[in-house]
Amino acid sequence: MVNDTNSEKPLIFVTNDDGIHAPGIRMLIDRMRKIGRVVVVAPDKPQSGTAHAITIHTPLRLKFLADEPGYEEYCCNGTPADCVKLGFKVVMKRHPDLLVSGINHGSNSSVSIIYSGTMAAVFEGAMAGVPSIGFSFDNYSPDAGMESCAPIVSKIVQNVLDKGLPEGVCLNVNIPDVPENRIKGIRICRQAEGTWQEDFDERLDPIGRKYYWLKGIFVKTGHGNDTDEWALENNYVAVVPVQFDFTSHEAMALLKSWETDA
Amino acid sequence: MVNDTNSEKPLIFVTNDDGIHAPGIRMLIDRMRKIGRVVVVAPDKPQSGTAHAITIHTPLRLKFLADEPGYEEYCCNGTPADCVKLGFKVVMKRHPDLLVSGINHGSNSSVSIIYSGTMAAVFEGAMAGVPSIGFSFDNYSPDAGMESCAPIVSKIVQNVLDKGLPEGVCLNVNIPDVPENRIKGIRICRQAEGTWQEDFDERLDPIGRKYYWLKGIFVKTGHGNDTDEWALENNYVAVVPVQFDFTSHEAMALLKSWETDA
């Protein structure tokens, strides 16, 4: 039984935001099954850009897909955050030893982390106290070859299983789109300053009413060789330790004078 | 014209996640119209729990609702983040002097910020370089009297218009549910440690298939009199300066030894 607490193999929870059929999650599942017992709960359809949305206005459905020795697979009609909550509470009825999310088709470096369903699942795991890692590949094409990711994923997962992560911290791992032999190594990075320069494509539907499609390109606005963007551009794997305390402790001191007593 | 760059009155963008018809946004609009020219783009229906989701798989629609001197109002079929993007790019074709989001029906203190569409709109404004404030009221009922919020909202908005905010920082303001004369003042706080203790209500639909509703209660896990939760419990207005750099700079040093060169 995959949930057997007496097993010596770690219990690993796998999810993503590109949906259960995406090549990225299939590769991640393959690698995780070599390391531990695996439970998968992933969205039944692509959920890119859902960020940390949770489903509270409509019911959630869970669909059983596979049960093999040391392996269970489900999909869900909700978001990545829903998948984690359902996985922990309904499917496993416990917390796993590790949560991995991805491999995302497209990078989640810099401010893209804010829109990312892949990383929302990772935050969800971290908030539950589970060591959690998001993996993203710097190529948006669903057909992109991800072979170079496999050894990196295994190495980082093993590091986290062996050493753990600091409390309240999870990992945002972005992998450059180059062959394995051109990857220069792993860099611990900070989130790069950057912005999505966006616009809307304005169109008319067949009865003449306007509608809009969001389109945008990412523009790096900061510099420095300690960022995730720098690492990707220079063929390093970018590992950003991220936290879910969003307080700007620096700004707290600056704004102290705003305090009033009634 | 509301968008007139020669006007001396500040141009204020208003949105929320409870939808254009929620009492909270109507109060916020009333207050902002006393201070500046106002453009509203808000979701056409409640979007609680959508976090920073953006709409990329379906087209967005914008509906014109009102145009009065110094005032324009629209609703949109998307998320709060969509509303901000559409507002800045399509409706205003410029950035406002201030973005305000809310007043949310229910607090967004502690980790609730992560699920909040109200605060996603605020992050979206801040990422575009616009001083941005989210207001939330510590009562989930749509019928809750929010009269006590009005002077607080005006005071904090005036502070931000006069003094600005540090770069990369926006404000998460939570207002306690007590009459105005019991509010003790304003406190600059950090995000409290806490967690949603959640579970799923498992039900059967009329043809016998299982479905799930998420339910949960918030549990404060940390202590200290410098948190937003402490402030609310003690009848202070909690102002948390938040940032969209999620890097744990502390953890970067701890994980430095993980770096490898290929």
Buried b (16+ CB within 10 A) or exposed e, B77-88: bbbbbbbbbbbb
Helices and strands, counts by H and E, chain B:
6, 12
Whole-angstrom distance, CA of residue A255 vs CA of residue B15: 24
Nearest CA in chain B to A90: B200
Torsion over CA of B41, B43, B45 and B46, rounded to 10 degrees? -120
Whole-angstrom distance, CA of residue A121 vs CA of residue A53: 10
Give chain B's mean pLDDT.
94
User: The whole model's pTM is what?
Assistant: 0.94
Burial of A219 (0-12, 13-18, 19+ CB in 10 A): exposed
Which residues from chain A sit within 8 angstroms of residue B195, using beta carbons? 127-128
Tell me the three state secondary structure of residue B140. coil
- pLDDT tens-digit series, residues B156-191: 999 999 999 999 999 999 999 999 999 999 999 999
Tell me which amino acid residue B12 is: I
Whole-angstrom distance, CA of residue A209 vs CA of residue A45: 28
Which candidate, B3, B2, B26, B1, places its Cα nearest to that of B15? B26
Boundaries of every domain in chain A? 11-191+224-258
Which ranges in chain B belong to alpha helices (H)? 23-35, 80-86, 117-127, 149-163, 228-233, 249-255
| CATH superfamily of the domain spanning B11-193+224-258 | Survival protein SurE-like phosphatase/nucleotidase (3.40.1210.10)
What percent of chain B shows pLDDT beyond 90?
87
pLDDT for position A241: 98
Which ipTM was obtained for this model? 0.92
In total, the C-beta contacts within 8 angstroms joining chain A to chain B are: 238
- pLDDT tens-digit series, residues B115-127: 999 999 999 999 9
Whole-angstrom distance, CA of residue A74 vs CA of residue A40: 6
Report the CATH fold assignment for A11-191+224-258: Stationary-phase Survival Protein Sure Homolog; Chain: A, (3.40.1210)
Which residues from chain A sit within 8 angstroms of residue B86, using beta carbons? 200, 212
- CB-nearest to B241 from A186, A191, A252 is A252
Whole-angstrom distance, CA of residue A186 vs CA of residue A236: 6
**Angle subtended by helix axes A23-35 and A149-163, to nearest 10:** 50
In the β-sheet with A236-243, what is the strand arrangement from edge to edge?
A62-68, A71-76, A37-43, A11-15, A98-105, A132-137, A169-175, A236-243, A185-188, B260-261
Which residues from chain A sit within 8 angstroms of residue B248, using beta carbons? 166, 168-169, 241-243
Nearest CA in chain B to A203: B59
Tens digit of each residue's pLDDT, chain A (262 residues) = 576 666 789 999 999 999 999 999 999 999 999 999 999 999 999 988 888 999 988 899 999 999 999 999 999 999 999 999 999 999 998 999 999 999 999 999 999 999 999 999 999 999 999 999 999 999 988 888 899 999 999 999 999 999 999 999 999 999 999 999 999 999 999 999 999 999 999 999 999 999 999 999 999 988 899 999 999 999 999 999 999 999 999 999 999 999 988 7
- Cβ neighbors of B122 (< 8 A, separation 6 or more) are B99, B101, B132, B133, B134, B170, B171, B172, B242
Q: Does the distance separating the beta carbons of B59 and A200 come in below 8 Å?
A: no
Burial of A59 (0-12, 13-18, 19+ CB in 10 A): middle
Contact B27, B103 (CB under 8 A): yes
Contact B190, B223 (CB under 8 A): no
Tokens of A25: 């999650």
pLDDT over threshold 80, residue B1: no
| B225: number of Cβ within 10 Å | 11
pLDDT over threshold 70, residue B102: yes
